[in-house]
Chain A
């Protein structure tokens, strides 16, 4: 079948790129996150049903599924972003390196410093480029300007944005193009030095050229970070992820190595979705 072949091809290309860049294959990994029997509710409405999953360290895990399937909710449960929403509650456990993140003694601010997040719509603060990237370290108490400048430079370099903006760090971040803004948001998330990076459809609002730059970036970043990405786009999942999880109507249907999931899905629903029969 052609669609299977095309996915296989995509995955194959990725593996070639990986070996070219000497990125180690993803076989002997630890799990960074361990989620067990998570049910999530917005008020009366249940958004997640008994989801259990592990997320591998220093790898890209992609969540796919039709809109409203709970993949974003799951992502936001990992750094407790849903705490802000009135009436949101849950049961089950979410372990980050073995620690329950919903335990009463956990400081949600400390958690979010470890688990960064990038949103679908780029959300630069209406400040200068420098101040955007320096925001996280600054609120965490970093006052030393030299130290901040170093962090800003490093983060922008890691986000592959440094060369484009190094001469205009004091310009407003709103003056950047859409793709640059999104990479700025990634740099900003990296500046707090997180272990885990959550990305909620980071490329869906971007043009193809910017998308491919962001994808390259994610590819680079997985050497140091555990990345979880929600995407609409199955090709994108195939291009960049090592693991793929398929959500449907609040249930985790299937999670497997990306290649396996796209070529030999175990569940009927997964197959229907990736072959385009619905969603």
Chain B
């Protein structure tokens, strides 16, 4: 091979140019999401802080102009302390915030024990059998079911209870606790509990899969060590495995809850989209709980609204002011979700740093 080796080939330049262009395209695509996120936040934020320009209306608008000057922006302190209203400048998200809060708490109460329990069973108890495979396949398919189908299920199973109780409308089950009674309407109808149960079904697959991953990451040496000390399987799980997997489980649960918080479709089909001018259990502050503790028990069976629903309602409203109210609602919702996401990321980050198995 007497041909001299050439290490500087001019025709390679074209290939390098193509490569560079490709890199730029890919880099641009990565930034695309960030740019959209920025534009979205800016446009929504701008709308949330301004009212639409007042139209030149014929006379008798003296009250309207006073009104426009009295409120500075859609997103103000008043926005948090008032109910929805037919007058856009007086409308707020008090009912929606408390509704969303109740939803999240109830969903967490239902989905965490069931989700973690399922994950523990699948990872710790079941051996690689047909049942486990079946449940696993089922879970991955459930995770892909659109939320609107869950909504239909929630409507059928909780709001109407498959029509089992339609014969005697308005029937309720009175549960006697030691010192007080709770009225449980049957079927659940359009109450918080229906919404919470529907959202629970929706997030369960996510919670289970995330918990399974967290449990799987716990090294088996911990289990072996615990068994060697004479602990039973449940004691090992209860005191060693689950605590060790807790950060991972928490991350998954928070992310799932933040998804539930933003879901509107399931609640719409349940029929929660109504004009609601009260909070569940009439609780609007912590002190109300002490004044009327029974409200805590009544709340799950109250009709409700939630943040995404309230936002949708405002978006659909023809008056321009409501679009700005919707923007203000979106800013509140996004802030809450961002906080939850950040919290989850911080937990995961801490966990990754502090624990080296």
Q: Residues of A at under 8 Å CB distance from B?
A: 96-97, 99, 101, 103, 105-107, 109-111, 114, 139, 141, 195, 224
Residue-by-residue, is B184-214 near A (CB-CB < 8 Å gives 1, otherwise 0)?
A: 0000000000000000000000000000000
- Bound form: Cα–Cα A101–B16 in Å: 18
Q: Which of these binds chain A: B6-14, B22-30, B222-230, B334-342?
A: B6-14
Q: Contact at A195–B12, with CB atoms within 8 Å?
A: no
Residues of B within 8 A of A141 (CB): 11, 15
Q: Contact at B8–A106, with CB atoms within 8 Å?
A: yes
Q: How far is the CB of A93 from chain B (nearest CB, A)?
A: 14
Q: Which residue of A lies closest to B12 (CB)?
A: A107
Of the residues A103, A109, A114, contact of B5 by C-beta under 8 Å: A114
- Bound form: Cα–Cα A17–B12 in Å: 42
Q: Helix, strand, loop or mixed for chain A's interface?
A: loop
Q: Which residue of B lies closest to A110 (CB)?
A: B9
- Bound form: Cα–Cα A106–B9 in Å: 9
- Max count, chain A CB within 10 A of own CB: residue among B7, B8, B11, B16: B7
> How big is chain B's contact interface, by range?
10 to 19
Q: Contact at B8–A110, with CB atoms within 8 Å?
A: yes
Q: Contact at A99–B11, with CB atoms within 8 Å?
A: no
Q: Contact at B1–A96, with CB atoms within 8 Å?
A: no
- Bound form: Cα–Cα A105–B6 in Å: 11
- Bound form: Cα–Cα A101–B12 in Å: 16
Closest 7 CB pairs of A and B: A106-B7, A110-B9, A97-B5, A107-B12, A110-B7, A114-B5, A195-B1
- Bound form: Cα–Cα A114–B6 in Å: 9
- Bound form: Cα–Cα A139–B12 in Å: 11
- Bound form: Cα–Cα A111–B11 in Å: 14
Residues of B within 8 A of A105 (CB): 8
Q: List 17 A-B contacts (CB under 8 A).
A: A96-B5, A97-B4, A97-B5, A99-B5, A105-B8, A107-B8, A107-B9, A107-B16, A109-B12, A110-B6, A110-B8, A110-B9, A111-B7, A114-B7, A139-B15, A141-B15, A195-B5
Residues of B within 8 A of A97 (CB): 4-5
Q: Which residue of A lies closest to B6 (CB)?
A: A110
- Bound form: Cα–Cα A114–B4 in Å: 11
Q: Which residue of A lies closest to B13 (CB)?
A: A107
B:107-163 near A, CB below 8 Å: none
Q: How far is the CB of B6 from chain A (nearest CB, A)?
A: 7
Q: Which residue of B lies closest to A106 (CB)?
A: B7
Residues of B within 8 A of A96 (CB): 5, 7
Q: Residues of B at under 8 Å CB distance from A?
A: 1, 4-9, 11-12, 15-16
- Bound form: Cα–Cα A23–B115 in Å: 72
Residues of B within 8 A of A106 (CB): 7-8
Residues of A within 8 A of B12 (CB): 107, 109-110
Residues of B within 8 A of A224 (CB): 1
Of the residues B1, B4, B7, contact of A107 by C-beta under 8 Å: B7
Q: Which residue of B lies closest to A196 (CB)?
A: B5
Q: How far is the CB of A189 from chain B (nearest CB, A)?
A: 15
- Bound form: Cα–Cα A207–B168 in Å: 79
Residues of B within 8 A of A114 (CB): 5, 7
Q: Which residue of B lies closest to A114 (CB)?
A: B5
Beyond contacts A97-B5, A109-B16: 20 other A-B pairs, Cβ-Cβ < 8 A, are: A97-B4, A99-B5, A101-B7, A103-B7, A105-B8, A107-B7, A107-B8, A107-B9, A109-B12, A110-B6, A110-B8, A110-B9, A110-B12, A114-B5, A114-B7, A141-B11, A141-B15, A195-B1, A195-B5, A224-B1
Q: Contact at B15–A109, with CB atoms within 8 Å?
A: yes
- Bound form: Cα–Cα A132–B9 in Å: 24
Residues of B within 8 A of A139 (CB): 15
- Bound form: Cα–Cα A15–B102 in Å: 87
Q: Which residue of B lies closest to A107 (CB)?
A: B12
Q: How far is the CB of A270 from chain B (nearest CB, A)?
A: 32
Residues of A within 8 A of B8 (CB): 105-107, 110
Q: How far is the CB of A194 from chain B (nearest CB, A)?
A: 10
Q: How far is the CB of B13 from chain A (nearest CB, A)?
A: 9
- Max count, chain A CB within 10 A of own CB: residue among B5, B8, B15, B16: B5
Knowing A107-B12, A109-B12, A110-B12 are in contact, say whether A99-B7 is a contact too (CB < 8 A).
Answer: yes
- Bound form: Cα–Cα A96–B1 in Å: 13
Q: Which residue of B lies closest to A58 (CB)?
A: B1
- Bound form: Cα–Cα A111–B16 in Å: 14
Q: How far is the CB of B114 from chain A (nearest CB, A)?
A: 41
- Bound form: Cα–Cα A195–B1 in Å: 7
Residues of B within 8 A of A109 (CB): 12, 15-16
- Bound form: Cα–Cα A194–B9 in Å: 15
- Bound form: Cα–Cα A106–B12 in Å: 11
Residues of A within 8 A of B7 (CB): 96, 99, 101, 103, 106-107, 110-111, 114
